[in-house]
A and B are shown apart, each in its own frame.
Chain A
């Protein structure tokens, strides 16, 4: 092995001959081009561009040339090495691209394979439905009030103008905590929450009360002894039935779409006077009562959601009876109020076309997961 030529031996060194340099360059480029994978390219790099390659060795000889010859030799070898490096880089890029392409092909998977390794959870539509309603009220500046389900009889009935002889107070309608004369019931509506709010707050009061309620009903496709209700109460100076109508119109259009409004029919509830039943325009047929076919054209059959009525019964409402305000310590001369209530379960049934109420209480995950975690 020869080290660098340091004695300026004037002998012409074979590797520095231009034809030798070109031959080495050509051999290198050929080997590089011939490499079919990155391994072969690595070998070609070692052989033709490594420390022991012909061009590297020739480069070392330059120093031994007479000064006047160095420049030319340096240029010649530099060009050759540059060509080899370029060829290497070019080939490297090509082979890497080929390699990547092959790897990507080899790594191909069947993307239609199932991915359901982890279980899917969901929240109950009664929960998310209650939240949806609550959010509409919160957006109007109302608050959401809550109370216990085992409730004082006085709050569930008397304070709401349901006197001792009101038919709802019988054992046929109400679950009583034992003993029945101890004044505790399973609340039959969420109205005692309204009573609690009136008893403990000063107007203005704007509250909605969603919650679980109990009545001694049969358990069938449309009735349940355990169900859910939302009630609303507004007490302020100058509150009128018009505010009740405005609030309910806003609620149903938020829940069922723009243009859906309510209508009132005179009715009777002890805690409101005047009282009304509220209906909403059917959100499916939009009040026509006609079934709509797939093409959107009305056909002769009746709308299934409203049974051809064009209206859906929603619940009860009215102006808070001043007797209720008085019992709850609110100045009935100064303040007026309105109240309303409707069933959440029933609302979900017609909003989602649920045929059997009992589906809400069975805990079947196939039913509940369909609703996800918002409704």
Chain B
């Protein structure tokens, strides 16, 4: 809402020394948020004066244009009193006209510095100005021609053109719809300076009678009050006075014609949207009703619209002539030949207006006000004000007929304890202050002991609850007065187990040289195709969005890999030789079941209802993904670098598992998007508790290619929630033996199909409790071993907690380990 300061001052008697900055600061403190202050004359420096054109000589130019060589009387403004020679390209004036002249030394908007300069064979000492050159809009072609009585040559024109005018633009919150009018803003200004306020809506209106334009309201809920007034003998071609044009412009509206301008002006002044019909185009009574199926209307914006039975309409005998409160129809629009004006001024149900506006995607000044709630007392007042202006400015006379159908809904009555504002705000607000401030904002307050009975002012349909009263009182006391007090009763138990574990996971991954990324979680079929997922892959069963950003990626993701793979490629594309990224985030899987119910809000849903709600939303585990692409260790003076591979993916995952105290069970698996021979399925837990948490390994070459990543890029994706569930909560303190260590190396030849994990498990089982640790340190293949065989070398560390092991014990443990491997894996000991 844009409000010219001069208009505010017309409605409230602000002291002359109040600056616009002070005004906006105080209004902000009351809840009218400042958006901007426009200063019309910003960027203009004088001399900018009235000039009288003495002579003008048209001079055709070679370029086809004709310029006028003018002499202009600027009084004493040029210091000499001599006429000023000025070249002007416009033609919309004549000798004798008063024009706006900027003299050398002046500056126009855009830092356009005026000086005497040679042009078209003359020395042009200044400029005759147009509206656009002064930053006043682009209404007309040509220069500004002032009215003959505007002033004398040499007079300063700043005030004449409103160039010192300031316009405040407010961002009006939904609960302050009354401030979408000068009436409302001026009321707040009076409140801000504790000044008396004369409400422009306090106006005697003629009583209703039965010979105004006939109106029938079929839907009183949608239209509780409808007022119609008529002006006859109106001259639709009469010009809108400059002051009104300027105010409309300042408020951000265009001047259209006197009839329309008056309705808009009254709307800006009072806040009541009006509509003016060409009375001769109305066929019979105006009827307010819901639309019938299939009805259509062409609205003022020349758009043909199909109406919904939920739309509230203004109609006549021929059909719809307006969508109530939103926009009028084209057929009954006023024209230059209109002489018979019917003014509609009605109160509509805000929700109905909001829904129609949304349905038809119409955002109109009328709709904006009607859907937020207009003062229901205004229709009669605003109609009368419009009739006054129409007759005063456009001739004609007010018809004596006054149609009033229905009545204004009564404002809410709220009961509240007088100490509520103090109790809620923590400010020491007395009952007297509460009552005084509520009355200051327009409430009627009855005091009955501690209880207040408060009737909201008619312009405050938002005030319905006791806490609404608190805000009204608090904003006048001032939010700056709220003391700063820390609550002392909080007694939390710190971060949850999962929150602490997730932090540990992040830190371990960063320590492992991985950089965390955040990706948009949206995917489409093309993404799954790039991952090589088979058609029946469960990851393709997604939660789809009804209104995605991109129709290419219409679903919430089921895997974090695509985002990371793209980010990795982006890094590589920007010159990174190697990149290691990780992300922890939500993935979503649809659940079978119906829609999530919408309950009322008058009470808490039952536990069963709540459960039904929770059951209807998708399953959303947290995943952890890692992508390693290109150089993992850098080349340098120390030697060769090393690219990431399948083992790096598992190494990173194992570091996470180690941090969490989890043993990982790793097995070969075939699953896209991984390389079928280089993919590990990772499980945690034992028995019934055992769960596959995800996969790690090298990506399939086709996937690397699809995402523009180097061959052998590796990736991990695990269900982080499942992993964290298995994290050790309380680590049992290990017993660390100080007795001597026995190191035993064993080399075992096995078939290629036997995994290191199989052999290790056998050795561990065989070695028994003396085995402190075991580590595979070499894998060896040779012709001597034969095709399809390999040698695995393990270092066994044997130690007892309570004694030095004897040679016999060591030999026995080693032999037992080897025997187990032989028996379980078909290994042959290599000597």
Chain A positions near chain B (C-beta within 8 angstroms): 113-114, 116-124, 126-127, 131, 134, 138, 140-144, 146, 148-155, 158-159, 161, 165, 170-171, 175-184, 186, 199, 204, 206, 212, 216, 219, 225-226, 234, 236, 239-247, 249-250, 261, 263-268, 273-277, 319, 321-323, 326-329, 336, 360-366, 368-369, 372-373
B400 interface residue per 8 A CB criterion: no
Q: Are B474 and A241 in contact (CB under 8 A)?
A: yes
B548: nearest chain-A partner, CB-CB: A175
Q: Are A144 and B496 in contact (CB under 8 A)?
A: yes
Q: How far is the CA of A142 from the CA of B423 in the complex (A)?
A: 23
Query: 22 interchain pairs (CB within 8 A)?
Result: A140-B487, A148-B618, A149-B556, A165-B355, A177-B618, A178-B544, A178-B545, A181-B595, A184-B595, A212-B586, A241-B426, A242-B485, A243-B426, A245-B483, A246-B484, A265-B33, A266-B31, A266-B474, A267-B173, A327-B602, A328-B604, A364-B571
Q: Which residues of B contact A152 (CB under 8 A)?
A: 596, 613-614, 616-617
Q: How far is the CA of A153 from the CA of B601 in the complex (A)?
A: 13
Taking A152-B614, A274-B474 as contacts, is the C-beta distance between A267 and B425 under 8 angstroms?
no
Chain B positions near chain A (C-beta within 8 angstroms): 28-31, 33, 173-176, 351, 354-355, 358, 423-427, 465-468, 470-471, 474-475, 479-480, 482-487, 489-496, 499, 503, 506-507, 509-521, 543-549, 554, 556, 563-564, 566-568, 570-571, 574, 576, 578-581, 585-586, 588, 594-605, 610, 613-614, 616-618, 620, 632-634, 636-638
With A154-B613, A323-B465, A327-B604 given, can you name 13 additional A-B contacts, CB distance below 8 Å? Answer: A119-B632, A120-B513, A122-B510, A123-B510, A149-B620, A171-B546, A176-B547, A182-B594, A267-B31, A276-B479, A319-B467, A360-B518, A365-B579
Q: Are A363 and B543 in contact (CB under 8 A)?
A: no
Q: How far is the CA of A33 from the CA of B519 in the complex (A)?
A: 75
How many whole Å from A24's CB to the nearest CB in chain B?
48
Q: How far is the CA of A326 from the CA of B603 in the complex (A)?
A: 6
Which 9 A-B pairs rank lowest in CB-CB distance, beginning with the nearest? A242-B426, A329-B604, A363-B567, A240-B426, A141-B490, A266-B31, A363-B517, A183-B596, A274-B471
Q: Which residues of B contact A243 (CB under 8 A)?
A: 426, 485-487
Q: How far is the CA of A113 from the CA of B637 in the complex (A)?
A: 8
How many whole Å from A375's CB to the nearest CB in chain B?
12
How many whole Å from A365's CB to the nearest CB in chain B?
4
Q: How far is the CA of A336 from the CA of B422 in the complex (A)?
A: 13
Q: Which residues of A contact B503 (CB under 8 A)?
A: 131
A261: nearest chain-B partner, CB-CB: B484
How many whole Å from A187's CB to the nearest CB in chain B?
10
Q: Are B358 and A170 in contact (CB under 8 A)?
A: yes
Q: How far is the CA of A161 from the CA of B174 in the complex (A)?
A: 14
B32: nearest chain-A partner, CB-CB: A266
B470: nearest chain-A partner, CB-CB: A274
Q: Which residues of B contact A372 (CB under 8 A)?
A: 510
Q: Are A365 and B515 in contact (CB under 8 A)?
A: yes
A328: nearest chain-B partner, CB-CB: B604
Q: Which residues of B contact A369 (CB under 8 A)?
A: 515
A160: nearest chain-B partner, CB-CB: B601
Q: Are B506 and A127 in contact (CB under 8 A)?
A: yes
Taking A177-B618, A268-B174 as contacts, is the C-beta distance between A138 and B470 under 8 angstroms?
no
Q: Which residues of A contact B512 (CB under 8 A)?
A: 121
Q: Which residues of B contact A361 (CB under 8 A)?
A: 518-520
Q: Are B354 and A165 in contact (CB under 8 A)?
A: yes
Q: Are A240 and B424 in contact (CB under 8 A)?
A: yes
Q: Are A138 and B494 in contact (CB under 8 A)?
A: yes
Q: How far is the CA of A264 from the CA of B496 in the complex (A)?
A: 32
Taking A118-B633, A124-B518, A329-B603 as contacts, is the C-beta distance between A263 and B467 under 8 angstroms?
no
Q: Which residues of B contact A123 (CB under 8 A)?
A: 506-507, 509-510, 516
A323: nearest chain-B partner, CB-CB: B601
Taking A225-B549, A363-B564 as contacts, is the C-beta distance between A368 and B479 under 8 angstroms?
no
Taking A122-B516, A327-B601 as contacts, is the C-beta distance between A273 and B465 under 8 angstroms?
yes
A161: nearest chain-B partner, CB-CB: B601
A216: nearest chain-B partner, CB-CB: B547
Q: Are A150 and B517 in contact (CB under 8 A)?
A: no
Q: Which residues of A contact B482 (CB under 8 A)?
A: 241-242, 244-245, 264
Q: Are B548 and A263 in contact (CB under 8 A)?
A: no
Q: Which residues of A contact B581 (CB under 8 A)?
A: 363, 365
Taking A121-B512, A181-B595 as contacts, is the C-beta distance between A234 and B506 under 8 angstroms?
no
Q: Are B484 and A242 in contact (CB under 8 A)?
A: yes
Q: Are A368 and B486 in contact (CB under 8 A)?
A: no
Q: How far is the CA of A5 from the CA of B616 in the complex (A)?
A: 110
Q: How far is the CA of A97 from the CA of B614 in the complex (A)?
A: 78
Q: Are A365 and B576 in contact (CB under 8 A)?
A: yes
Q: How far is the CA of A245 from the CA of B426 in the complex (A)?
A: 10
Which residue of A120, A171, A184, A368 is within 8 Å of B596 (Cβ)?
A184
How many whole Å from A367's CB to the nearest CB in chain B?
9
Which residue of B487, B601, B634 is within 8 Å of A234 (Cβ)?
B487
Q: Are A121 and B576 in contact (CB under 8 A)?
A: no
Q: Are A124 and B517 in contact (CB under 8 A)?
A: yes
How many whole Å from B825's CB to the nearest CB in chain A?
35
Q: Are B633 and A153 in contact (CB under 8 A)?
A: no
B610: nearest chain-A partner, CB-CB: A199
Q: Which residues of A contact B634 (CB under 8 A)?
A: 116-119
Which residue of A124, A236, A323 is within 8 Å of B489 (Cβ)?
A236
Q: Are B490 and A140 in contact (CB under 8 A)?
A: yes
Q: Are A362 and B486 in contact (CB under 8 A)?
A: no
Q: How far is the CA of A117 from the CA of B15 in the complex (A)?
A: 73
Q: Are B598 and A154 in contact (CB under 8 A)?
A: yes
Q: Are A141 and B491 in contact (CB under 8 A)?
A: yes
Q: Are A241 and B486 in contact (CB under 8 A)?
A: no
Q: Are A363 and B616 in contact (CB under 8 A)?
A: no
How many whole Å from B696's CB to the nearest CB in chain A?
17
Q: Which residues of B contact A122 (CB under 8 A)?
A: 510, 515-516
B545: nearest chain-A partner, CB-CB: A175
How many whole Å from B472's CB to the nearest CB in chain A?
9
B606: nearest chain-A partner, CB-CB: A329
Q: How far is the CA of A188 from the CA of B446 in the complex (A)?
A: 42
Q: Which residues of B contact A176 (CB under 8 A)?
A: 545-547
Q: How far is the CA of A155 from the CA of B578 in the complex (A)?
A: 44
Q: How far is the CA of A328 from the CA of B605 in the complex (A)?
A: 8
How many whole Å from B111's CB to the nearest CB in chain A?
19
Q: Are A155 and B515 in contact (CB under 8 A)?
A: no
Q: Which residues of B contact A121 (CB under 8 A)?
A: 509-515, 580
Q: Are A116 and B636 in contact (CB under 8 A)?
A: yes
How many whole Å from B17's CB to the nearest CB in chain A?
23
How many whole Å from B687's CB to the nearest CB in chain A?
30
Q: Which residues of A contact B496 (CB under 8 A)?
A: 143-144
Q: Are B556 and A180 in contact (CB under 8 A)?
A: no
Q: Are B567 and A362 in contact (CB under 8 A)?
A: yes
Residue among A153, A240, A277 with max Cβ neighbours from chain B (10 Å) = A240
Q: Which residues of B contact A261 (CB under 8 A)?
A: 484
Q: Are A142 and B518 in contact (CB under 8 A)?
A: no
Q: Are B487 and A177 in contact (CB under 8 A)?
A: no
Q: Are B518 and A373 in contact (CB under 8 A)?
A: no
How many whole Å from B494's CB to the nearest CB in chain A?
6
Q: Which residues of A contact B618 (CB under 8 A)?
A: 148, 150, 177, 184
Q: Are B571 and A184 in contact (CB under 8 A)?
A: no
How many whole Å from B698's CB to the nearest CB in chain A?
18
Q: How far is the CA of A314 from the CA of B663 in the complex (A)?
A: 45
Q: Which residues of A contact B484 (CB under 8 A)?
A: 242, 245-246, 249, 261
Q: Which residues of B contact A276 (CB under 8 A)?
A: 479
Q: Are A150 and B617 in contact (CB under 8 A)?
A: yes
Q: Which residues of B contact A239 (CB under 8 A)?
A: 487
Q: Are B603 and A362 in contact (CB under 8 A)?
A: no
Taking A118-B633, A176-B547, A323-B465 as contacts, is the C-beta distance between A277 and B426 under 8 angstroms?
no
Q: How far is the CA of A360 from the CA of B576 in the complex (A)?
A: 18
Q: Which residues of A contact B358 (CB under 8 A)?
A: 170
Q: How far is the CA of A119 from the CA of B512 in the complex (A)?
A: 8
How many whole Å from A126's CB to the nearest CB in chain B?
6
Q: Which residues of B contact A120 (CB under 8 A)?
A: 513
Q: Which residues of A contact B586 (CB under 8 A)?
A: 148-149, 212
Which residue of A236, A242, A326, A368 is within 8 Å of B427 (Cβ)?
A242
